[in-house]
Structures are given as structure tokens and as C-alpha cells.
Amino acid sequence: MNEIPGDLRFKKSHEWVRVEADGSVTIGISDHAQDLLGDIVFVELPEIGTQMSAEDEVAIVESVKAASDVYSPISGEIIEVNEVLLDNPEIINESPYHEGWFYKLQPSDSEEIDELLSPEQYGDICEE
């Protein structure tokens, strides 16, 4: 059973969102997603300053057997990306919720966060 931390919100497409104290959000992919992908060998991250809308393709993550688009769960401006991943993409496998975060975003519509899945709802989806 994959880990699903209780303090995060999720998208059906396996991204997670953590709301930080300063109002920004951190985004990554779930433990379940990294498990499905297998050994991750490559990540493409967005450029800082890009304006994203919810559902936009924001990043690419590749293992030796699959390539997946990562969709931005919410709208806003990219303010930071986790450049460590570019050289060490395996961190996503090792620590999907902590060191393996993808990017930080300044939300333009905080209501979108409320529409995301709760850990319980996401857990049910993973079960299916």
C-alpha cells in the first residue's frame, strides 16, 4: 500500500498539493504514481515565471518504460522549481512527498485548492 499523507490535497491524475504557510503551494507526484512509473530517469520542469492554468501540462516525468505528463492541479505563477531533480530524478522514487517535489506556485485562485481531492478520496481512486 502506497503512502498518502493526510495533510495534502490530490488530483485524480496523481499530483499532490501542499499549501505552505506563506500561501504558496508545493506540487509533486504521489507515491502511487512513482510506483506505477518505476525507476524514474528524467524530469522536465517548467520555467520560473510561467503562468499556468489548472489542467495545463506543466512537467514531464519519464521512467524506462513510461512517460507521463504532469498536469498543474491549480492555476498560478511558477515561483520555484526543484532543480535537484534534473540530475537526480531517482529522488522522486525515494521521497515523492518531500525531497522529490516538482515546483512551487503562487496560486491565482485559492478556491481551486478546495476542489481538489482529500487524501481519503484519492486513496479510494488508487484502490480502483
Partner 1 sequence: MSKKTDQTEALAKNYDSFARRHIGISEEISLKMLDDLGFNSMDNFIQSIVPESIYSNKDLKIDDGLSEEAALRHIKRISKENRLFKSYIGQGFYNSITPPSIQKNVFENPSWYTSYTPYQPEIAQGRLEALINYQTMVADLTGMEIANASLLDEPTAAAEAMTLAKRLSKSKSDVFLVDENCFSQTLHIIETRAKPLDIQIKVLAPKNMLDQECFGAFLQYPDTNGVINNYSYLVDGLHKKKALAVFATDLLALTLITPPGDYDADIVIGSSQRFGIPLGFGGPHAAFIATKESYKRSLPGRIVGASIDVHGKTAYRLALQTREQHIRREKATSNICTSQALLAIMAGFYAVYHGPEGLKSIALRVHKYAVTLKVMLEKNGIEIHSSSFFDTLVIHSGDKTKDFIKRAKIKKINLRIIDETSLGISMDESVSFEDLKEIIEIFCEENELIAPNETLSCISKDVRRTSDYLTHSIFNSYYSETELMRYIKKLCNKDIALNTSMIPLGSCTMKLNSASEMEPISWPEFSAIHPLAPTNQIQGYLKLINELEQMLEVITGYSVISLQPNAGSQGEYAGLLAIDAYHKQNGDNQRNICLIPRSAHGTNPASAQMVGFKVVPIECNKEGNISIKDLKEKIKLHKENLSAIMITYPSTHGVFESTVIEVCNIVHAAGGLVYIDGANLNAMVGICYPGAFGGDVSHLNLHKTFCIPHGGGGPGIGPIGVVDKLKSFIPGFHGNPNNNVGPVSGSNYGSASILPISWMYIKMMGSKGLKKATEIAILNANYVAHRLGDHYKILYKGQNGLVAHECIVDVRPFKDSANIEVEDIAKRLIDYGFHAPTMSWPVAGTLMIEPTESESKDEIDRFCDAMINIKKEIQDIENGDLDITDNMLKNAPHTAEEVSKDEWDHSYTRSRAAYPLEILKEKKFWPPIGRVNNVYGDKNLMCSCPSMEEF
Residues making contact with partner 1 (CB under 8 A): 39, 41-42, 44, 62-67, 69, 89
What does residue 5 show for φ and ψ, rounded to 5 degrees? -60, 145
- Smallest gap from Cβ 40 to partner 1, in A, equals 9
* Shorter beta-carbon distance to partner 1: residue 69 or 109: 69
* Shorter beta-carbon distance to partner 1: residue 66 or 79: 66
- How many beta carbons lie within 10 A of that of residue 55, not counting itself? 13
- Smallest gap from Cβ 117 to partner 1, in A, equals 23
* Shorter beta-carbon distance to partner 1: residue 33 or 117: 33
Residue with cell 528524467: 42
As to burial, measured by CB atoms within 10 angstroms (0-12 exposed, 13-18 middle, 19+ buried), residue 126 is middle
Q: How far is CA 122 from the centre of its chain?
A: 13
What does residue 70 show for φ and ψ, rounded to 5 degrees? -105, 130
* Shorter beta-carbon distance to partner 1: residue 67 or 79: 67
- Smallest gap from Cβ 15 to partner 1, in A, equals 18
